[in-house]
Amino acid sequence: MIPRIKTLRVMNDYLLGVEFDDGSKVVYDVKDDIQTLPSFRPLSEVYGLFQQARLDSSRTCVYWNDEIDLASDSIYQYGVSASL
C-alpha cells in the first residue's frame, strides 16, 4: 500500500516535515537529492522554489513543478522519525 500524506510542512534548510495517514511523522532531508539528482538542483538554484512544495491530489507525491517530484513511499522509507 502506498502511504498517503496527511500534512506537508516546508521547513528551513531543505527539510520537509511530513505526517502520514497512519500517524507516522518524519522529516525528509532533500539536500541529498539536490546534490545527486540533476533534476532537483533548481530547488537550491531558483530563489523560493523549494518553498513552493505542493501535495498532489492523490496525496502520494510532493511536487514543485512538472519536472521535480518526490514519491510518498520514498519520504516514508528514508525520512527520519520526528515529532512535528
pLDDT at 84: 74
Q: Give the position of cell 531558483.
A: 46
- 8 Å CB contact between 8 and 16: yes
CATH topology of domain 5-81: NE0471 N-terminal domain-like (3.30.2020)
pLDDT at 71 over 90: yes
| Cα distance between residue 25 and residue 35, in whole Å | 24
How much is the mean pLDDT over the chain?
Answer: 96
For 36, residues 6+ apart whose C-beta sits below 8 A from its C-beta are none
CA–CA gap between residue 17 and residue 19 (Å, rounded) = 7
Query: Does residue 44 have a pLDDT over 80?
Result: yes
Identity of residue 67:
E
